Structure 1
């Protein structure tokens, strides 16, 4: 069954969605989380994983991948750590084969070359090769997590593109998408008016550009 709101989000860029989130005073812009390739795009619902320091004896980084529903976006919260990875080439290959929507990491990944070859979208703070094995372990699956100072609940809607990642809370996604689509329509109308010879300030005034992102109570 097609998820209509995932489909709607996939047609909007993160900048437009960010403006809609701002209008509703929702913190949904994942700070410093970027695609390992600027061409990467993703849209889907969050399947969350929470990591922490390894115990003694250490647990594993997780063998969860075969249980993730196709189309899901994996959200791995490694507490923003940049010294150890929680994602590499084996996971990329399996995720790509199982048609997952992408992977987003509050931390770093490694084996970037394979995700670029396969076109599997991975978004993270950075990349580095040092393994997380015996350094971190998977603590919980499908619990609330942090992604670039944004709370992510299982099932929340994520959209990623060259500008980064936004998180749209499931509880208000209809409102966010409605506003984002109205912003998109207004900005398209402004571009068309300017191309037709109208002054930019006149076009912005006509289509209420300066009110598009003005915050309102949600």
Structure 2
């Protein structure tokens, strides 16, 4: 039985995938979003929502509840809040709902709160920071299930997103196999380099051998 794309990405890290994105001519990985609850890597299909400042008027649907309720066990919730760190765009009740749906994690270009609650649920939340200020009366939904911008990268619903302690990457849904092929090949070459170094070879020689084997972009 062949492994699914998510299973194959799960054994990689964002550095390897970023190198593969470079080779595919796609935007590389970025930093700036750190694990705020549990430092577990996450990979899944993007479910997106974009927020904006609240403009007043009658109460509207609570931000992100529809996205949470529509997400499942292969999904990562991706939030565009423009990088704001003065107001939370994710909190404990949302984490509870997401955990109940089996969501793999949250990636927020903004701040989160209720960190201890999310940590107790084991839900990884990657964000720009933490802040206790509520979204109520400060934020509203701009769009859901559409393209968003997160840490300078465009994310479409269904793209594969990954986050770990090194950074954040986006793999367009129509380039998944191509990027996987580059990433898996690079990992195999790096393993070969590491094996040579551990057996006593000089690093320069091991890197040279990798280039002779066809790797013109051996990473650091």
Query: TM-score, length-normalised on structure 1?
Result: 0.91
Aligned partner of 2:119 in structure 1 is 116
Pairing partner for 1:183 from 170, 182, 186: 186
Confirm whether residue 131 of structure 1 aligns to residue 143 of structure 2. no
Pairing 1:12-161 to 2, within 5 Å after superposition: 12-37=12-37, 39-57=39-57, 59=60, 60-64=62-66, 65-161=68-164
Aligned partner of 1:163 in structure 2 is 166
Cα distance in 1 for residues equivalent to 2:140 and 2:18: 32
Query: Against the structure 1 CA distance between its residues 154 and 28, is the aligned structure 2 distance closer, same or farther, given a 3 Å change threshold?
Result: farther
Offset of residue 102 of structure 1: 0.6
User: What is the root-mean-square deviation in Å for CA atoms of aligned residues?
Assistant: 1.9
Q: Tell me: higher relative CO, structure 1 or 2? Use CA pairs within 8 A at least 6 residues apart.
A: 1
Cα distance in 2 for residues equivalent to 1:150 and 1:87: 20
Cα distance in 2 for residues equivalent to 1:12 and 1:72: 18
What are the ranges of 5 or more consecutive residues in structure 1 without an aligned counterpart? none
Cα distance in 2 for residues equivalent to 1:191 and 1:42: 26
Contact 1:77-1:105 at 8 Å conserved across structures: yes
What are the ranges of 5 or more consecutive residues in structure 2 without an aligned counterpart? none
Query: TM-score, length-normalised on structure 2?
Result: 0.90
Runs of 4+ in structure 1 deviating by more than 4 angstroms, as ranges, are none
- Helix, strand or coil at the partner of 1:105: strand
Contact 1:14-1:161 at 8 Å conserved across structures: yes
- Helix, strand or coil at the partner of 2:90: coil
Corresponding pairs, count:
213
* 1:149-171 deviation digits (Å, cap 9, x = unpaired): 00000000011112122111112
Cα distance in 1 for residues equivalent to 2:190 and 2:71: 37
* 1:20-49 deviation digits (Å, cap 9, x = unpaired): 112223114244112115622111000000
Cα distance in 1 for residues equivalent to 2:138 and 2:218: 43
Contact 1:110-1:128 at 8 Å conserved across structures: yes
